[in-house]
Amino acid sequence: MKVVFELRHDKQNKAGTVPVYVSAYFDGLRLRCSTKERCEPRQWNEKEQEFRRSLPGYTSANQGLQALARRLEDKYRELRAANVAPTVALMREAVNPAVVVVKEEPTLVARFAEFREVLSGRGYAFHTLRHYKTACNHLAAFLEKSRRKGLTLADYTSAIHDDFVSHLRTGCGLSANGVYTIVKDLKTFLRHAQDERGLTLGMELKRLEVRYTDQAKTYLTGADLAALVAVKLPKTLEPARDVFLFCCYTGLRYSDVASLHAGNVHGLGPKGDGDRVLRLTQTKTRATVSIYLSRLASEILDRYDVPERQFEGARLLPVLANQPMNRYLKKITKLAGLTRLVEVVSTAGGQVVKEAVQLHELVTMHTARHTFAVQSLLRGMPVAVLQRVMGHAKIQNTMRYAQVVEELQHQAMRAAWDGPATAPAVSALDGTVCNVMAA
């Protein structure tokens, strides 16, 4: 094979430069194409077939021509060795190799965002998607702070994960269960990437520990509820107290009571007469539940079922935003005398920290749901029924109310050691807090 470089004088441009072409002769064929180099005719040495010194950068330009000649010769030998007849088209590939575009590997955070889009497309609830977004945001903040923004899925190793967990604990000040929630969501994402997308991880999932620490859940006793019913409050606080008590009697989450409307109430008889139930789809889990409305719960609904008390969006109860509700509840429970000390256990710097806090400081809207679960079990509701009423997918979630187990143990020990005793008085509740119908 013979390789020749030549100028194409017929293609001179206005600047006076002409292109340099390469001609390769092989097996009776000729390949002729541009080298994509240009020069003025005086800058070309026709005898030596190379650029003269007068061309700026002539050394690298000549090296380029030499490399092109070697590629052509190598391509010719390669085709011959493979017993493939060289053609003009095949040889042209040596002059203008096909550009292989290597797609840049998406970053770890980008993969996490794609995972959230997948969950959204599969119809996951808003609150679930929000949890995954929180985990993704924490991960992005950690990678930004540690200068690892370009980290890919395969680069996320056990050592980097340990740094991330340390960042959550010390940098963000999250509790043990706060870290558990973030890591659990991260592990779900990594498992999806590995099992459903076939992507390679930088660590073994079995080495990614996820542990939940059972913590005491704040709840109110029957006496506490009676005190809330009896306390005299300013008119501005009464609606918040009523909404909270309604959730204590029904086990509704804040998101569900805030969206409660007339279409959720069924079996309606004349006001104050006839059994009524709530049927709704929970906002968080999308589980359908059916809850019997006790006399106390019905009284609260009837109190606001008057024309002058119509709320935005046809809501049944005057539910404020969650944060104002929680602020009001702390004032209300303090006025009701719920000031006994409760032990709060947390972890700081790897040490267990115990603190005595007044009960009213711990009360939030979610305390009502805990109260409903505890009081229902103490009054004899079967755990399986409570599970369906609360919309728990697993019965283990229902059994996480550790205080309930303690109270039942205390009752059994009292009966064994002190003899049979009458059931605890429920004061103004009249035992009607937890009359519940399973879905």
Domain ranges in the chain are 2-95, 108-207, 222-429
Closest residue by Cα to residue 333 from 252, 221, 436, 411: 221
DSSP 200: P
Angle at 252 between CA 291 and CA 132, to 5 degrees: 130
Reported confidence tier of residue 415, pLDDT bands at 50, 70, 90: confident
Q: Worst-scoring range by mean pLDDT, 16-30, 102-116, 322-336, 411-425?
A: 411-425
In this predicted structure, the answer to whether residue 167 has a pLDDT above a threshold of 80 is yes
Q: What is the mean pLDDT of residues 277-288?
A: 86
In angstroms, what CA-CA distances link 315 with 32, 228, 236, 249, 310?
81, 23, 18, 18, 7
**Averaged confidence pLDDT in the chain:** 84
In angstroms, what CA-CA distances link 146 with 64, 139, 167, 170, 187?
42, 11, 10, 14, 21
CATH 3.30.930.10 at 108-207, yes or no: no
Nearest-angstrom CA–CA distance, 260 and 268: 15
Nearest-angstrom CA–CA distance, 371 and 245: 10
Residue percentage of the chain with pLDDT more than 90: 44
In this predicted structure, the answer to whether residue 399 has a pLDDT above a threshold of 80 is no
Q: What is the mean pLDDT of residues 7-22?
A: 92
Reported confidence tier of residue 431, pLDDT bands at 50, 70, 90: very low
Phi, psi of 178, rounded to the nearest 5 degrees: -65, -45
In this predicted structure, the answer to whether residue 423 has a pLDDT above a threshold of 50 is no
Tokens at residue 203, please?
């660590």
pLDDT tens-digit series, residues 33-56: 999 899 999 999 999 999 999 999
pTM for the whole thing? 0.59
The amino acid occupying position 2 is: K
Could you tell me which CATH class the domain 222-429 is placed in?
A: mainly alpha
Which helix H or strand E contains 328, and what residues bound it?
helix 322-335
Question: Of the segments 215-224, 364-373, 412-421, which one has the largest average pLDDT value?
Answer: 364-373
